[in-house]
Structure 1
Amino acid sequence: MIFYFSGTGNTRWAAEKMAEATAERLFFIPNELPTSCHYELEVGERIGFCFPVHGWQPPHIVREFLKKITFSTPSSDIREHYCYVLITCGDSAGETIEMCNSDLAPKNISIDFAISLIMPESYVCLPFMYTDKPQREEEKIAQASKDLDTAINIVCSRKRTTFLVKKGPLPWTFSHVIGAYFNAKMITDKKFRVDPDMCISCGKCVKVCPTGDIRLAEGVPEWKHNDSCTNCLACYHHCPRHAINYGRITRKRGQYYFGHRTTTSGE
């Protein structure tokens, strides 16, 4: 079984490709979190986790799920079930895998394989963060496709102790200091704003929000402020009129979601 979280579609693309290749069940974490999060494994079934990196850490919704999840297994030892993690990021992952491993350790689960796919950048809420230019975006997706094929081959053959993760410089500092501050203080939906003159009340933002944090009020999106937001920016990137912004900083920033150059249907 494969558990995944995705906002702008990078991880969903990878998770769906992995599920197709392994013929294993696919579960969307936001849909699973309100349930008991207990799962019955079949004989020899793999356990896969796919998610984007947020601030050099797993997204808070993923960490919450990892801490809640439990399994029943026909085997006497859950460690006999192959476990892998696939993460997507715009550049480096820091110690995301180590943090994931720490969350899984109380379940007696250890990661056998991990890989990071470098995907087009989608976080644009800081002064130095921009979407990639079209050529760079294409280059990243092309390389990620090759890396995903490698990951699929490794998972299908159940190779262990293989880690293909770009941690970047000072990974502990980025994950446990900068990332800790980012995820504790900067993940909020309170800065989202809507230009009512630009909004066409299409409701796409409501549809693509992975946590259901948006509703339409008299045709205009509003955020529920229920602490479910992950700042994935799916609402911002999918808005066909660029009517949604995160404060002032994103007003002249680009938009991206996986497949946006080949489809207008969104996610």
Structure 2
Amino acid sequence: MLNGARILVVDDVDSDRYLLTHYLQRQGCRVYVGVDGQDAFQKAVAVQPDIILMDVRMPGCDGLTACRLLGDDARTRDIPVIFLTAAASPEERVEGLRAGAVDYIIKPFDFEEVRLRLVIHLKTLRPPEPTADLAQQQSRLDRNLFESARKQLMSRLDSPPDLAQLAQSTGTSQRRLSEAFKKCVGVTIFEFLREERMKEARHLLASTSLDIQAIALEVGFTSGANFATAFRERFGMSPSAFRRDRPGQE
């Protein structure tokens, strides 16, 4: 859950800042650091972190002041702030929440607590994963779109519909149909069509006496030379050499 999260750590104590930064980096986070409240505000504007971990008591601009600065600026007001403190009295907690913080973590750090609190607050910022039912519905739709388009392509290898026609006939968009092919067979529609043409050409060469030009036309090539080039690129030999050798397998 923390992998890839962008976290700004703000603390004037070098050792505390180092320990927290090192731990978060091991969790796969992208960590930025600040040394006081003013630095925190400037870094937040510049890097737009997902969340900020900030010490309350710092010289110069403290955490409370920085939290108010962040909340008053449209560029940073939606970034959640968790305060770090060695001794948070009830009054200090209330003051921090009023300043805009979403939570407190007490020093010295319990790293499992740090992880859990970050997970909780980051979860509210990220869209939920698709449910199993929704994922299954999407998978079925992908398969149905693919099968419908595949049947049309296979029945018309000599003159297949273009992408716009294929999408219209399956009742979807060109982009959605392309995504279905990628998810179901891992290739583009053009790559799928090219492969099926080559497979059919190989079958006709091996099992019929049709001449090579006729086979080229059957699989959608108006030029025998273009067909021969495509066949050689796919199978490593010319159509005539393939027919002569009649290989028994791919």
TM over 0.5: no
Larger-gyration structure (1/2):
2
TM-score interval (norm. to shorter): 0.3 to 0.5
More strand by share: 1
More helix by share: 2
Q: TM-score, normalized by length of structure 1?
A: 0.32
Q: TM-score, normalized by length of structure 2?
A: 0.34
Return the structure number with greater relative CO, CA threshold 8 A, min gap 6: 1
